[in-house]
Structure 1
Amino acid sequence: MQFPWKHNRRYNDFPTYFKSKFNERVQKVSVDAGFTCPNRDGRKALNGCSYCNNKTFKPDYCKLEKSITEQLNQGIEFFAKKYQSMQFLAYFQAYSNTYADVTVLKERYEEALAVEKVIGLVIGTRPDCVTPEVLDYLQELSQKYYVMVEFGVESVKDETLERINRGHDFAAAQWAINETARRGIHNCAHLILGLPGENRSDFLEQAREISKLPVENLKLHQLQIHRGTRMAVEYANRPEDFELFTVDEYIDLVVDYLELLNPNIILERFISQAPKDLLIAPKWGLKNFEFVAKLEKRLAERDTWQGQLYESQK
């Protein structure tokens, strides 16, 4: 069968898309550029989102005492040992990387772009931390470089966003994604399946709502309970409020989710795995590629694919 994305995988996968876009291997290199977050500096809150512990995804070489250039050069040196020919994207990952005056953003982004073999930026941020001025600047950059803005959307339900202390509503995400896409800037939405107070019906409605937006890339992951978070305390006190999936339960949910999802959306990730010393639950021990193999097997068993039900629900 010929799928809309013109290859035989049963979902619109990111690696295939990325290889088709560039002439050689391109690797993200994480950077901690010293940004903070309105949920941590007191503008909206002090303790951050209830599930968030930034240590779960920050590589060891990302240390603030090192400059952006030093961090990138160390990351590039690590990957260059594995592959002879590579280009790199500076991945501004920790906290909210558009949360500063545009003059500060220009200084930090352009330092990264000045590093040899860096051909673009991936910028992780919150929907409420972009302004028209920032997006206009990123639009200018995107004329010369690959620029991707990755938004933490997390849920499409305002009640859930309030419960997890996000400090913004879904309308903020809708605005940010629409405005980014309108300017021709690449975008990615990050969503969590399993947040407290949500059920299977909510998760599938999420797929329908996200499909209405001009989302280019999508990162999904299962809810994880991390040490050092407010959610860890909530989980200890009321575990019955949480739906922590087994691997098989989550695979079946993702298959159902994919069936409803706009086939134009590119799937970049399905799961995340925090370091063992920070992870309370669920403890799957699966890497993304291992999960993908299981998911593809289930899609084939059910003879289904991304977007199979998308047209029928429009």
Structure 2
Amino acid sequence: MGRPQKEIVLAGSPARLFAYWLRDLRGSAGLTLDQLARRTGYGRTTVSDAMRGEIHPTRPVTLAIVGACGGDVRRWGEYWAQVRRALDPDRPGDSPGWDGIDPPPWGARPGRATGTHAERCPPDCARDDPHGWYTESVSTRLRLDTPAPEALERRIVVATCDGLTRIPVGVSVPRRAGDTTPGHALEMSAVQGGRLEDGGPQYESYFERFLVLPAALRAGTRHVYELRLRIPPAQPMAPHFVHVPLTRSEHFRLRIGFDPAKPPRTVWRLEGVPTAVIYQRDPGTPTLRPDEQGLVDVEFGAMRVGYGYGLSWLEADTGA
């Protein structure tokens, strides 16, 4: 058995997002890299490189992988072309860029195991979402006026599959620029709506748990859960908080409480931005000001999969 592929950090060009969804498709099909290489006729290194996110794979390699995994070859061909045009440094200035890209998921066939975690439904399940649920709303309150950054997040999910018993909960905590301290952590706990257990992938800047639900959900059932996320006191936080939907997500509200005694120099609203923009010192998006209590409150709807929604800021004291 080969080594697992490294995590794809969704920051940078659309090639990373393309690789993420290509890897998701392979996971849905349950194929190892060796099996995929045999089915496509390409070498293991070639198919592995196509899903690293470092380069944009060729069209023939992409469509061979999609076909071997039972994906929609036509839609993937269109997606490949969109990314190729966006990556072309010589493309005309008026041609569609990142905002014109339509990434997966584009829908799933009922009764088929799909999604990163390959949830399975009964043959007669009328599933219309590739992960067995979708997110109706996310409401996050982040406190930055405390000794350690702490967020309370309330989510409402809707099951699209009978028998849903657990949901993967993944949180990315990127290092702040210039931070070279050893260790990088996130404290995550369930406040209501289930219990957390280990089992998902763990990386230096990505933390995943499974939320085990109190009872199995039937299709169409809404479920509310709350999580508390806390960064350790000695660990600096990157100056942004963003929701990047990787499956259907309908509404996001974010409230950040800054310290009124040390308000940020600038706060930017990030709405539907490519992930690379999140990390820019000045994203060039609309700016906001905290109120008298240091609060900034924003809401988003009609969110696109793979794009960022939230806030970034420039701190008053360090300029970081």
Bucket of the pairwise TM-score, normalised by the shorter protein: under 0.3
Greater fraction helix: 1
Mark the structure with the bigger radius of gyration.
2
Greater fraction strand: 2
Q: Which has the higher contact order (CA 8 A, sep 6+)?
A: 1
Q: TM-score, normalised by structure 1?
A: 0.27
